[in-house]
Structure 1
Amino acid sequence: MHRRMTITLDEAVYEGLYRTVGKRRMSQFIEDLLRPHVLDTTLDDGYRAMAADQAREAEAQEWCNGLAGDMRDETR
């Protein structure tokens, strides 16, 4: 769902935006710039990419299992 919003820009900024992206693409350009700053998905995307790396996941699982084994063998 999209919401309509009115913003105020300095005239020079507006003209530069108009020249750079064109009138019909301003909203998408601004949204693409703002999205990473207002939606905290960067960390989620990073975790998703790490989970997709099967070799890395196997190595991490092996490390965790080894650590758990070390803790079990440790005398208290």
Structure 2
Amino acid sequence: MSSRAADQRKLTITVDADVYEGLHDRIGPRGIGRFLSDLARPHVVGGDALATAYAAMAADEAREREAEEWSEGLIGDVADDR
């Protein structure tokens, strides 16, 4: 048994019938647990590291100024397409 499998826990959840059918059709019955785990992981594991990284980026004034100039430039690009 892999160490990943040894660290797993069983969880029973309730979802709407259409969500279940979509998961079953697209992911397959044996892949739903892994799909949901991978989907939830960035939201519930290591959140402090992500918040710290975003705070560090926001504190970088030169990077923030460059990002703002870039995003403001996009507005002009959209206006040119009309």
- What is the TM-score when the length of structure 1 is the normalising length? 0.53
CA offset at residue 11 of structure 1? 0.4
Post-superposition CA distance 1:32-56 (Å, at most 9, x none):
0000000125539x6xxxxxxxxxx
> Of the two, which has the highest radius of gyration?
1
1:39 to 45, 48, 60: 45
2:36 aligned to which of 30, 41, 46: 30
Q: 1:6 aligns with which of 12, 16, 20?
A: 12
**Equivalents in 2 of 1:43, 1:9: separation in Å?**
29
Unaligned stretches of 5+ residues in structure 1: 47-76
Report how many aligned residue pairs link the two structures: 46
Whichever residue aligns with residue 37 of structure 1, its letter is H
List runs of 5+ in structure 2 lacking aligned partners. Answer: 1-6, 54-82
TM-score (norm 2): 0.49
Distance 1:5 1:20 in 2: 21
